[in-house]
Structure 1
């Protein structure tokens, strides 16, 4: 298959929404991208629309239940901070970066989710120190490319303030600019500044708008780095979102009821010793897992009663089979969708419905904005922009799906992703 570009740069601006388009079209560097290339402002995300499943979809072209990353975090009942799907082994089948490596292309990934221990030439994976005895830099080094990461930390580590934003994205930006000097064939970059601001300040907050302006500056710096290194005319630049977000003010804490009904057993100190049913949140949606058929019926009855009262925050209930038909985890017994203004939390203590306070958000226990909702929700699309080699100019695609983006990237690089759910968007491509 003919290769359409020499260098593919995919920039994921986490939580970039179709609703941001009126702002983006007036920001200079996004404006340049839109003017030069093609775009779609109605990209249908996946279910659940959370970051790790979305990013696994972007590099596989598959729905979560087929690539295996069905949530951000693992099912670890009772753990205050569950482990995430950090590692490449969570993804079933091949990925865009695997196929690029097989074709002897040079690959780079900076904080791209689900890439820990992946076969990537320059790999700075997104992975957190999730145990008291862990050291953040050491955890990153051991799960990515050690010498590369040591160099990036030596050059730019002073910029970072732990995981705080916008400093983390500023560190990623400088590392990206340095990595462009190595001229990778495939470069995957993940920025989370906007997502963080929307979580803690709300969708249309001034903090979120400031993050959009910072992202425009970051895009401009990447474009300049491509020009400075003689890559600009040989490259395809993609800027995309993985999901949108919705404001919320109330948390649905179903596990408090399941514990009350004896379906979750805890010690005096609150440690889970056993469970028959457990609610695993995905922010705007949630999985409910059960261990036996009798519990399924009991939970079904409980959920049906709760759903009848809108103040309980449950918009609809899917069976495991219905969830699987939407691409979510068919191993669940039920999947719940939150009503607008609500989201799900895994916590075991407190009230069933918790009204979020400023103090909650300040202490990062709760948020003002969430994603994870059904892609069928109104005004919940994300956005896609591409320009450069292999991309047609001035084409607006009326609609596309997140599952189509991976196959489109593969086509640009002359590669094939196996057994995808999506298709290359050939209307974008200058074939």
Structure 2
């Protein structure tokens, strides 16, 4: 009975706010579907040294950003979670590709971390869950963070790749697209996030300037063409918005430089003073010195190498929006573009790498969007990836969670009149009543 009374009270509140504000009670929402596609490690200018007719057609028929600035630290999982939460990394808490525990010293690799629920579910709710709580159906295909539960709720439909998954299999890419099309047409999903692990893998192995990377971009462009063909074939052109973006860029590793960043060669430094270390993962690292050794270690390494920037956690540059999280250790560091950090021994041999300062142009990435709600032939100024989430919520007509983005940054991409029933313009009381209804159910 109490639940019924609460429901009746909520309905009464909703009715009152609709009548007072002149909003029609029987407004029929025309909500378009949304497909967010990420090609991991696609640098902002990868389309400039190869022919990409399908990416080019997206720019002609929709919206292109000159480039997009990812969040720092420019790693796969943290940056992908920013896209679906609208939060800087220090605020959503997925601060690294690896799960780690500074007490037990456990460190798990990227693929294992994808399934560690407590790493992802630590206070932030991604867009899949928010959309489902507001009556939509969502799916995640290989997207980082899409295969765990948040506050006890899981994505309606999801797929997770295996540890030995071949990210570059073009035939499988097309099969994945076919599956996603069925999700939209047969399962009537409203939102799907689709992830491809290229050109990141190829960029790491061969370097961003290699012919192999260029060939992979050609494969990606063919795949975008296949996707566009299937959107049309499945009669989704008029009610599906497509966004293609990425998590970060890629740069060439200076493997043969005479001044490598090597902790094991720093004068007066010893790992005997270190309680916990997270090094040898590209150009960033974390340390916890043993009790009483913080100042000693900091003074030794802060000027140990001109390409290495070491900070106490509380002094880390605020513009990175990274260190103000309890998962960040007492000492945090990153190196200059092209330099990776070597710990006890040199174990990093990639020809390409990311994780550098998100202000470096090689870390910038792409943004393309096309569909019934987007303007045509519009190129917009660069913007930060933290603003994408609010755009996604706007396209889906859902109330966003608290976030660090600003819809005003991306709103000019949309056609006038493309917004449906804009929750962002509704009274606070209405939003509160909607929230109450969601809690009841």
Please indicate the TM-score interval, normalised by the length of the shorter structure: 0.7 to 0.9
Indicate the larger mover: 111-120 or 231-240: 111-120
SS of the residue corresponding to residue 410 of structure 1 reads helix
TM-superposed CA distance for 1:164, in Å, is 2.8
TM-superposed CA distance for 1:87, in Å, is 4.0
Task: Give the conservation status (yes or no) of the 8 Å contact 2:59–2:368.
Answer: yes
In the alignment, is residue 166 of structure 1 matched against residue 168 of structure 2?
yes
What corresponds to 1:72 in structure 2?
97
CA-based RMSD of the aligned residues comes to: 2.7
Query: Counterparts of 1:241 and 1:80 in 2: how far apart (Å)?
Result: 24
SS of the residue corresponding to residue 58 of structure 1 reads helix
What corresponds to 1:20 in structure 2?
46
Query: Counterparts of 1:396 and 1:175 in 2: how far apart (Å)?
Result: 29
TM-superposed CA distance for 1:366, in Å, is 2.1
In the alignment, is residue 57 of structure 1 matched against residue 82 of structure 2?
yes
Provide closer, same or farther for how the CA distance between residues 303 and 406 of structure 1 changes in structure 2, counting only shifts above 3 A. same
What corresponds to 1:272 in structure 2?
none
Query: Counterparts of 2:202 and 2:302 in 1: how far apart (Å)?
Result: 35
Task: Give the conservation status (yes or no) of the 8 Å contact 1:50–1:282.
Answer: no
What corresponds to 2:330 in structure 1?
333
TM-superposed CA distance for 1:3, in Å, is 6.6
In the alignment, is residue 8 of structure 1 matched against residue 34 of structure 2?
yes
- Which is greater in Rg? 2
SS of the residue corresponding to residue 276 of structure 1 reads strand
TM-superposed CA distance for 1:306, in Å, is 0.8
2:355 equivalent among 350, 362, 372: 372
2:295 equivalent among 286, 292, 297: 297
TM-superposed CA distance for 1:258, in Å, is 11
Query: Counterparts of 1:185 and 1:80 in 2: how far apart (Å)?
Result: 33
TM-superposed CA distance for 1:166, in Å, is 1.3
Task: Give the conservation status (yes or no) of the 8 Å contact 1:115–1:126.
Answer: no
Indicate the larger mover: 75-84 or 218-227: 75-84
TM-superposed CA distance for 1:256, in Å, is 7.8
Query: Counterparts of 1:72 and 1:284 in 2: how far apart (Å)?
Result: 13
In the alignment, is residue 102 of structure 1 matched against residue 128 of structure 2?
no
Provide closer, same or farther for how the CA distance between residues 238 and 262 of structure 1 changes in structure 2, counting only shifts above 3 A. closer
TM-superposed CA distance for 1:340, in Å, is 2.8
Provide closer, same or farther for how the CA distance between residues 78 and 209 of structure 1 changes in structure 2, counting only shifts above 3 A. same
1:401 equivalent among 361, 376, 384: 384
2:65 equivalent among 40, 56, 67: 40
Number of residues of Structure 1 aligned to a counterpart in Structure 2 = 366
TM-superposed CA distance for 1:172, in Å, is 4.2
SS of the residue corresponding to residue 427 of structure 1 reads helix
Query: Counterparts of 1:212 and 1:38 in 2: how far apart (Å)?
Result: 20
Task: Give the conservation status (yes or no) of the 8 Å contact 2:337–2:356.
Answer: no
What corresponds to 2:155 in structure 1?
120
SS of the residue corresponding to residue 35 of structure 1 reads helix
Question: What are the residue-to-residue correspondences of 1:356-371 with 2, within 5 Å?
Answer: 366-371=349-354
What corresponds to 2:414 in structure 1?
429
Query: Counterparts of 1:51 and 1:405 in 2: how far apart (Å)?
Result: 16
Query: Counterparts of 1:85 and 1:173 in 2: how far apart (Å)?
Result: 23
Provide closer, same or farther for how the CA distance between residues 74 and 35 of structure 1 changes in structure 2, counting only shifts above 3 A. same
Query: Counterparts of 2:373 and 2:109 in 1: how far apart (Å)?
Result: 43
SS of the residue corresponding to residue 99 of structure 1 reads helix
Provide closer, same or farther for how the CA distance between residues 8 and 244 of structure 1 changes in structure 2, counting only shifts above 3 A. same
In the alignment, is residue 245 of structure 1 matched against residue 250 of structure 2?
yes
SS of the residue corresponding to residue 135 of structure 2 reads coil
Provide closer, same or farther for how the CA distance between residues 206 and 373 of structure 1 changes in structure 2, counting only shifts above 3 A. same
2:233 equivalent among 205, 228, 238: 228
TM-superposed CA distance for 1:37, in Å, is 0.5
Task: Give the conservation status (yes or no) of the 8 Å contact 1:279–1:289.
Answer: no
Query: Counterparts of 2:272 and 2:394 in 1: how far apart (Å)?
Result: 49
SS of the residue corresponding to residue 18 of structure 1 reads coil
TM-superposed CA distance for 1:417, in Å, is 2.1
TM-superposed CA distance for 1:179, in Å, is 2.6
Question: What are the residue-to-residue correspondences of 1:136-147 with 2, within 5 Å?
Answer: none
Task: Give the conservation status (yes or no) of the 8 Å contact 2:167–2:196.
Answer: no
Provide closer, same or farther for how the CA distance between residues 407 and 23 of structure 1 changes in structure 2, counting only shifts above 3 A. farther
